Structure formats: C-alpha cells, structure tokens
Amino acid sequence: MWWIFILILILALAYLLSLPKRYTVTRSIVIAKPVGEVFAYVRDFSNWTAWSPWSLHEPDHQLTIDRPTELGGLYAWDGKKIGAGQMQHTGITLNERVDILLTFLRPFKNTAKVVWSFRSAPNDACEITWDMQSQMPLPMRPMQAFIAKMIGYDFALGLALLRGKLDPTSEHPSITFNGVVERGAQTYVTEHFEGTLVDMRGAMKEAYPRLWQRLSKDTERWEKKPAIAAYHKVKFMKATTVMDMGFAVKQLNAGEAGLALPADKYFQMTMRGSYDFLPSSWNTVHGQVKMLKLKIDKSRPALEVYQINPMEAPNSNDWTTLLCVPIK
C-alpha cells in the first residue's frame, strides 16, 4: 500500500506546483492634496505609525526608524501581536515613486517588493497607488488568494486612514477597539437577506426605511434603539452573506419575522465613518480577535449596530457603527 501514499504525495506536490508562484495586491485612492505634499508624507517612515492599518492592533509595539526619508532608510517593528519585520527604501523618484523592500521575520519569514506611485489628479489632487508583489512558501500557496484578499482590505483601510491624516475634511474612518463587552438580550423585528454583499447594500436601503415606517406607527412596541445588521454567515472569498436587518422591539407579533438575541459576550470595535469602510473594518476586527486568541461563537451572528441615523448626520465621518464579534 506504500505506493498509494507515494501517489498522494506526488499528486499533492503537482497541485502545489500548478498554483501561481506570485501574487500582487494593488489599491489606489485620491487625496485632495498636491502630489508633492502626499509624496513627502508617505516617503517619510516617521509618519507611518499615524495611519498604518497594522499599528492599530498594537500601538505600543517596538519601533526602530533610521534615516526615514533617505535611500536605504529603515523602518523596523517588533510586537507580540503583529510580529516582526522591516522595510527599507530601495528607490526614490521625487514626487513619482517610492520602492521598498519588505521583510517579514515573525510569525513567518518572507519578502515582498512594495511600490508607491504618485500622479496628479484633477483639482490639484494626488492619485496614490500602493502595490505589493510577493510569493508564499510552497505549502502555503493554497492560501495565497485568501491572504491577498485580506491584505487588500488592509491596504484599502490604510489608504483611507492616510487620506484622513492629510485631509481631515475628506471621507475617512476612525477605529477604536473597545474590547470584550456584554450586550443585553434584545428582540428585533427583521427582514431577511441572502445574496452578494453588493446586492445587500440595495436591500438595506429599502429594508430599513420600510421597517422604520412600520414601527413608527407602533410606538407601543418600538424601543427606539439603534438598528442592527445580524450576519449569520459570510463567505469571505465569494463575498456572499446570510443576514437579517432589524429594529429593536419589546415583542414580536404573531407571524412576524424577527430575531431574539440572548445576553452574551462580544468583542467590540467602534468604526466612525462611511459604510464604505465596513468591509475593511470587519477584516480589522477579526484580525484583532485572532491576535487576542479569542474563540468566536459561530452559533450567534456578528452584529453591526448603527449608533447614528445617517439621515441626521450629513457628514459621513460622524456615522458611528459598532462591530460586534460573538465570542465564547
């Protein structure tokens, strides 16, 4: 029977070798500042902790910065949660491009080539592109697409945070980890949705006003608490979900669709900003849960709790959403 084991190994190796060797992650954003100003800020490693999507997870990590604006300049980090590694300037073209060699040391060893590109956009703005090329070790190649997608969410969040630092009046997120919290029991009248995350947005725009109109005439039951979205299942790679949209009520009427959530523990994060930043924010809160080695309770839905009615806050930077991951 040994030959069966050898055959399986050969087939597994052939499968791994058939997968792409490299992956690329590219994200862009427009910042309403001149190219020179944006270039100077990004080039300077001293500014990176102010907007880094990874520094959020461990603000007190050990940091070493040497010659932050020069060719050969170094930015090295070492943390219990975010691991260890370094970046080094390998090429600088004034107001056009910054090349960086990224070296991961812990929790695994790897290298990547990073390129920042800058070009003029209308109204004296700057379009900035963050590009990374790397490859995973052979045994990890089946995870390559998943990891690239996660990094893409980190890049999108980092660019949005960067824009907020350079232009506070622009749409940008603000993130705070609140830690483990206890949420009380609550009943919700709901509308159900199953489908893509893109289609979900349209469904939400119709469902919440419809639910609100129904409950505004039923003041005896309506608790006038923040609306929620309850995610029972999310398929990360396919970008699909099974979820409920709801408003808090004292009790459900006979035959009415609803959701009863028991009192229990959640890891909570507060995100202020446009709902466009929610996908990256969910990636961030799940990353923090993983770093803290908390166990997710998959029998309960993850929650978005909308603290502010967008109709009452025209500036999206004031919108406040709680992201709650159920934990055991």
The model's pLDDT over 49-95, given as tens digits with 9 standing for 90+, comes to 999 999 999 999 999 999 999 999 999 999 999 999 999 999 999 99
pLDDT at residue 16, as a whole number: 46
Residues 156 and 210 reside in one and the same domain: no
Is residue 189 predicted with pLDDT exceeding 60? Answer: yes
Residues 209 and 245 reside in one and the same domain: yes
Average pLDDT over residues 96-117: 94
Is 32 part of a structural domain of the chain? yes
Residues 168 and 306 reside in one and the same domain: no
Q: How confident is residue 9, by pLDDT bands cut at 50, 70 and 90?
A: low
CA distances to 125, 171, 202, 243 from 198, in Å: 29, 20, 8, 13
How far does CA 302 lie from the centroid of its chain?
Answer: 15
Cα dihedral sign for 136, 141, 147, 152?
positive
- Neighbouring CB atoms inside 10 A of 142's CB total 12
pLDDT at residue 302, as a whole number: 98
Is residue 280 predicted with pLDDT exceeding 60? Answer: yes
Please tell me whether the peptide bond between 107 and the residue prior to it is cis, using omega within 30 degrees of 0: yes
**How is residue 255 written in tokens?**
């035959």
Mean pLDDT of the chain: 92
In Å, the largest CA–CA distance within the chain is: 73
pLDDT at residue 10, as a whole number: 53
Q: Lowest-pLDDT range, 14-18, 133-137, 236-240, 291-295? A: 14-18
Q: How confident is residue 148, by pLDDT bands cut at 50, 70 and 90?
A: confident
Is 188 part of a structural domain of the chain? yes
Residues 220 and 299 reside in one and the same domain: yes
Is 13 part of a structural domain of the chain? no
- The whole domain housing 293 covers 177-326
Is residue 313 predicted with pLDDT exceeding 90? Answer: no
Quote the CA–CA distance of 100 and 104 in Å, as a whole number: 13
Tell me which of 157, 172, 187 is where a domain ends: 172
Quote the CA–CA distance of 250 and 219 in Å, as a whole number: 10
Is 158 part of a structural domain of the chain? yes
CATH number at residue 110: 3.30.530.20
Quote the CA–CA distance of 20 and 238 in Å, as a whole number: 20
Number of domains composing the chain:
2
Q: Is the pTM of this model over 0.85?
A: yes
CATH number at residue 281: 3.20.80.10
pLDDT at residue 240, as a whole number: 95
Residues 78 and 150 reside in one and the same domain: yes
* Secondary structure of the chain in HEC code, one letter for each residue: CHHHHHHHHHHHHHHHHHCCCCEEEEEEEEECCCHHHHHHHHHCHHHHHHCCCCHHHCCCCEEEEECCCCCCCEEEEEECCCEEEEEEEEEEECCCEEEEEEEEEECCCEEEEEEEEEEEECCCEEEEEEEEEECCCHHHHHHHHHHHHHHHHHHHHHHHHHHHHHCCCCCCCEEEEEEEEEECCEEEEEEEEEEEHHHHHHHHHHHHHHHHHHHHCCCCCECCCCEEEEEEEEECCCCEEEEEEEEEECCCCCCCCEEEECCEEEEEEEEECCHHHHHHHHHHHHHHHHHCCCCECCCCCEEEEECCCHHHCCCHHHCEEEEEEEEC
Q: Lowest-pLDDT range, 46-50, 237-241, 244-248? A: 237-241
Is 247 part of a structural domain of the chain? yes
Q: What is the tens place of the pLDDT at every residue in 174-188? A: 999 999 999 999 999
pLDDT at residue 309, as a whole number: 82
Residues 34 and 126 reside in one and the same domain: yes
pLDDT at residue 14, as a whole number: 53
Q: What percent of the chain has pLDDT over 90?
A: 80
Q: How confident is residue 20, by pLDDT bands cut at 50, 70 and 90?
A: low
Q: Lowest-pLDDT range, 48-52, 156-160, 236-240, 300-304? A: 236-240
